Structure 1
Amino acid sequence: MSERTVVVTGAAGFIGRWVVSELLDRGVTIRGLDDFSNGSRENIAEFDDERFSIVDGDVRDRTVVESLFDDEVDACIHLAAEIDVQESLDDPMDHFQTNVVGTQNVLEACREQETRLGLVGTCMVYDMLNAGEGIDEDHPVKPASPYAGSKLASENMAESYYHGYDLPVTILRPFNTYGPFQKTGMAGGVVSIFVDRDLDDRTLKIFGDGTQTRDLLYATDCARFIVDATFSDDTVGEVINAGTGEEISINDLADLVATEGTDIEHVEHHHPQSEVQRLQCDPSKARDLLGWTPEVSLQEGVDRLRTWMRNGEP
């Protein structure tokens, strides 16, 4: 892959910086885009590499998006998005503009240059009822928030470009990703929030009864999946999940993270209408098409995250 050039939108975000890291490890040249509303310059500070450049710009600005594309670009990995469920309920227009209009701008730039696209979606688009032994790609969709609705709309637009223009598009749905560089506030992931609070000797707060489950995927495994799937000819036109295939309740996760002296408390849910009761991925399609399987166990991932939060070393 050392001869390739890739556009990465949302390159300074949590997952974006891990995708950039994975691409640099493979010798790829990267043209990044981020408006730093969710991402951070600290996330990419270590990438002092002539193969990585980043534009401070908004994916909603079509001119900025198009400026990153030319006939040297081999692929685009589109990660730029608004991702906060509660904010989407409070202000759905922001999520529509970034997630739908922004994706349309990326699709047009890809179409004009005939550039393959890896569109990173979300498992939150699925109907979480009757999930059975794991959610596969044929499971019904039922977005429960404007965030999920806007992400599903962006996937539908991408699929239309695949069918209508023969654009090589792959839709990627990682499950709950966690790891270093993830935010630890309300917009962050539960693992990062719990580990941060445990290190500060603060109470781990569980929304609701804690029986809700998550399929927790470590950041490096997620990035490897995104890069592999984007460049595979076998995945073009496909929707592909990525997860461990194992679920853990929030109660059990809190017990795993909490060290001696850390309290655990159940509190009222701040957005119960969009709570997901059960999330468990069926990752068999990614395994069959890509030979991809997660490498980092939950215990190892939590340990790595704790070490990074203490020492700043991912």
Structure 2
Amino acid sequence: MNLLVTGGAGFIGRWVVKRLLEDGHQVWVLDDLSNGREMNLEEYRNHPNFAFVHGDIKDEVVLEQLFQNQFDICYHLGASINVQDSIDDPRTTFQNDAVGTFFVLEQCRKHQVKIVFMSTCMVYDRCQEEKGITETHPIKPASPYAGAKIAGENMVLSYSFAYNLPAVVIRPFNTFGPYQKSSGEGGVVAIFLDKKARGETLTIYGDGTQTRDLLYVEDCARFVVEAGYSDKVNGHIVNAGLGKDISINNLARLIVGDENRMKHVCHIHPQSEIQKLLSNSEKAKELLGWEPKVSLEEGIRLTEKWMVENSETNRAEEEEPGDERGDIR
């Protein structure tokens, strides 16, 4: 097939591109590199089925030209993803995540291209049941980031119903793995591993009892890709997670193994914290036959191995020193 991945130079986008190329498709990436990195796609630069376009999802001229390529599926991952950034500058997040999504949707409608919309588990209210969060769980837009994503979700589903456009909303839980940034609001696993390698203290926001369901990135990418391949999920919202949660305190212990290297600090945005996140992915299993394959421990081992092997290159790409936050994507 001929496929478009917006945000394909980002962390998850890079792994989605990898999977699609391995499946033999022609893959186009649109990314403005505001969050993504060219190094994420370096190995595909000369791939015969790969094309990269440096552009903005809000640029309707670029989109109009790009969609002349008659895509079969648009994997729409391009977005602003940082919670604190959305609190400090809600306009940018809304423009990218809601307005940008509208412009992409219009092209998908015009050319009848299926859209896979990458949302986030951050739209949910806290989990209060041991069975985990299902797709019918209450939502709570506790940050402009979550609010913009909910707006994007509703637009995507409205196009599915109003125009019979093939569309699916996916809500992966907190994803981690190789190529994730260890700076700014990067993933907590990457940040903790980076601090461990540097011999630094792992600082934890709040009391560290907040929990996250941590999904290894290759499992996430497989879920994203298969949501595009299947017609069974059209018109649906679908979760994906490991199905086990861990507190940030216990994650720090698992990674560094030394209580003396853990320090708690005041949370920078406690109003947007979700205390417990635990995915129920039964719907993904039922409709896609998808289940996670990589355990948290194995995922951490693979991520640490990659970070050690690529430490110089990866750190050169980081723009600022990191801190870990409990609201990772």
TM-score for both structures, normalised by structure 2: 0.92
Instruction: Report the 3-state secondary structure (helix = DSSP H, G, I; strand = E; otherwise coil) of the residue aligned with 2:169.
Output: strand
1:15-43 deviation line (CA, Å, top 9, x unaligned): 11010001011011111100000000011
1:149-188 deviation line (CA, Å, top 9, x unaligned): 0000000000110011000000000000001111112220
2:225 maps to what in 1? Answer: 227
- Gap runs ≥5 in structure 1: none
User: Does residue 1:45 correspond to 2:18, yes or no?
Assistant: no
1:300 maps to what in 2? Answer: 298
2:317 maps to what in 1? Answer: none
User: Does residue 1:283 correspond to 2:281, yes or no?
Assistant: yes
1:254-277 deviation line (CA, Å, top 9, x unaligned): 011005697111111111111110
1:1-314 mapped onto 2 (5 Å cutoff): 4-47=1-44, 48-70=46-68, 72-128=70-126, 130-259=128-257, 263-312=261-310
Instruction: Report the 3-state secondary structure (helix = DSSP H, G, I; strand = E; otherwise coil) of the residue aligned with 1:101.
Output: helix
The residue type paired with residue 198 of structure 1 is K
- Gap runs ≥5 in structure 2: 315-329
Instruction: Report the 3-state secondary structure (helix = DSSP H, G, I; strand = E; otherwise coil) of the residue aligned with 1:45.
Output: helix
Instruction: Report the 3-state secondary structure (helix = DSSP H, G, I; strand = E; otherwise coil) of the residue aligned with 1:137.
Output: coil
> Matches of 2:251 and 2:142 in 1, distance apart?
24
> Matches of 1:127 and 1:190 in 2, distance apart?
20
- Whether the 8 Å CA contact 2:125–2:274 is kept in 1: the answer is no
> Matches of 2:253 and 2:22 in 1, distance apart?
35
1:76-110 deviation line (CA, Å, top 9, x unaligned): 00000000100100110000100011100110010
> Matches of 2:310 and 2:259 in 1, distance apart?
24
The residue type paired with residue 26 of structure 1 is D
- Whether the 8 Å CA contact 1:178–1:218 is kept in 2: the answer is yes
1:177-220 deviation line (CA, Å, top 9, x unaligned): 00111111222011111011101111011111111000000010
- Whether the 8 Å CA contact 2:123–2:150 is kept in 1: the answer is yes
- Whether the 8 Å CA contact 1:7–1:75 is kept in 2: the answer is yes
- Whether the 8 Å CA contact 1:175–1:242 is kept in 2: the answer is yes
- Whether the 8 Å CA contact 2:3–2:72 is kept in 1: the answer is yes
> Matches of 1:73 and 1:166 in 2, distance apart?
17
Q: 1:174 to 1:75 in 2, by over 3 A?
A: same
Report how far residue 312 of structure 1 moved.
2.5
> Matches of 2:41 and 2:167 in 1, distance apart?
27
Instruction: Report the 3-state secondary structure (helix = DSSP H, G, I; strand = E; otherwise coil) of the residue aligned with 1:285.
Output: helix
> Matches of 2:105 and 2:258 in 1, distance apart?
50
> Matches of 2:231 and 2:305 in 1, distance apart?
37
1:35-72 deviation line (CA, Å, top 9, x unaligned): 00000001110113011111000111111122221363
- Whether the 8 Å CA contact 2:113–2:166 is kept in 1: the answer is yes
1:119-172 deviation line (CA, Å, top 9, x unaligned): 010011111153543000011111100000000000000011001100000000
Instruction: Report the 3-state secondary structure (helix = DSSP H, G, I; strand = E; otherwise coil) of the residue aligned with 1:49.
Output: coil
Task: After the TM superposition, list the runs of 4 or more consecutive aligned residues in structure 1 that deviate by more than 6 angstroms.
Answer: none
> Matches of 1:59 and 1:7 in 2, distance apart?
12
Instruction: Report the 3-state secondary structure (helix = DSSP H, G, I; strand = E; otherwise coil) of the residue aligned with 1:77.
Output: strand
> Superposition RMSD on alpha carbons, in Å?
1.5
Identity %: 51
The residue type paired with residue 248 of structure 2 is I
> Matches of 1:27 and 1:266 in 2, distance apart?
47
Once the two structures are overlaid, the 10-residue window that deviates more, 257-266 or 114-123, is 257-266
TM-score for both structures, normalised by structure 1: 0.96
* Equivalent residues, number: 311
- Whether the 8 Å CA contact 2:205–2:268 is kept in 1: the answer is yes
> Matches of 2:241 and 2:259 in 1, distance apart?
32
